[in-house]
A and B are shown apart, each in its own frame.
Chain A
Amino acid sequence: MEKERVIVAERRAGAALPACLFAWLVPGAGHLYLGRVGKGLVFLGCIGALFVLGVAMDAGLQMHLGFDDPLAFLRSLAQMALGAPYFLARAMGFEAGRVTSVTYEYGNTFTEVGGLLNILVILDAYDVAVGRK
């Protein structure tokens, strides 16, 4: 019995890294990988919708690394937490956004909050993987 428990704990610990990686790459994918399909689909739908709506509202997706503008750096980190969709959208030419658009700041907020929520989702995937949830 004790041996089985150790094996299960080792498997869970082994699943934590890929679960977190998948959760970062695609919102909800970590939970799908861990068999929490319902939760995974909710995260994929909601965070995906926040990102897509944000880009549709002309959000800027510029990558700002460095501390010369700390707020822009934090903003970039938040957006990068969305993983593959962020880099895909940049590669598809949505990087600049449209500063003159009325909804530019709304778009920024949608994409940044989507990324911040995805950080919470990654931490939740870790908790599920190690058996805390």
Chain B
Amino acid sequence: MIGSHLLALLVFSALASVVFATLLREDQKNRVRFALMTFGAFVLSAIVVGWLMFPFPD
């Protein structure tokens, strides 16, 4: 269904971020900000870890 690694990462990050923001923040403005920050952290950390793993394919 989702064949692309990047698309899977984006969908997963978006869904998990929304749940975390809804759980951990009470007002709407803070929720949106927290969700965006969490989403960015998920995606950025995955890309950074991917780069770090690049020299070690096995």
Contact = CB atoms under 8 A, between A and B. Distances in A.
Contact of A47 (B1, B2, B19): B19
Interface string B1-43: 1110000100110011011001100100000000000000000
A57 interface: yes
A54 to B, nearest CB: 10
Nearest to A55: B1
Q: Give the size category of B's interface with A.
A: 10 to 19
A39 B1 contact: no
Interface string A105-124: 01001100100010011001
Question: Chain A interface secondary structure, helix, strand, loop or mixed?
Answer: helix
A50 B15 contact: yes
B16 A103 contact: no
Contact of A46 (B1, B2, B8, B18): B18
A89 to B, nearest CB: 15
A109 B13 CA distance: 12
B1 A120 contact: no
A124 B21 CA distance: 13
19 contacts: A39-B22, A42-B19, A42-B22, A43-B22, A49-B15, A50-B12, A53-B11, A56-B1, A56-B2, A103-B1, A103-B2, A103-B8, A106-B2, A106-B8, A117-B16, A117-B19, A120-B23, A121-B23, A133-B26
Interface string A13-36: 000000000000000000000000
B57 to A, nearest CB: 17
Contacts of B3: 102-103
A104 to B, nearest CB: 12
> Closest 4 A-B residue pairs measured CB to CB?
A56-B1, A46-B15, A42-B22, A46-B19
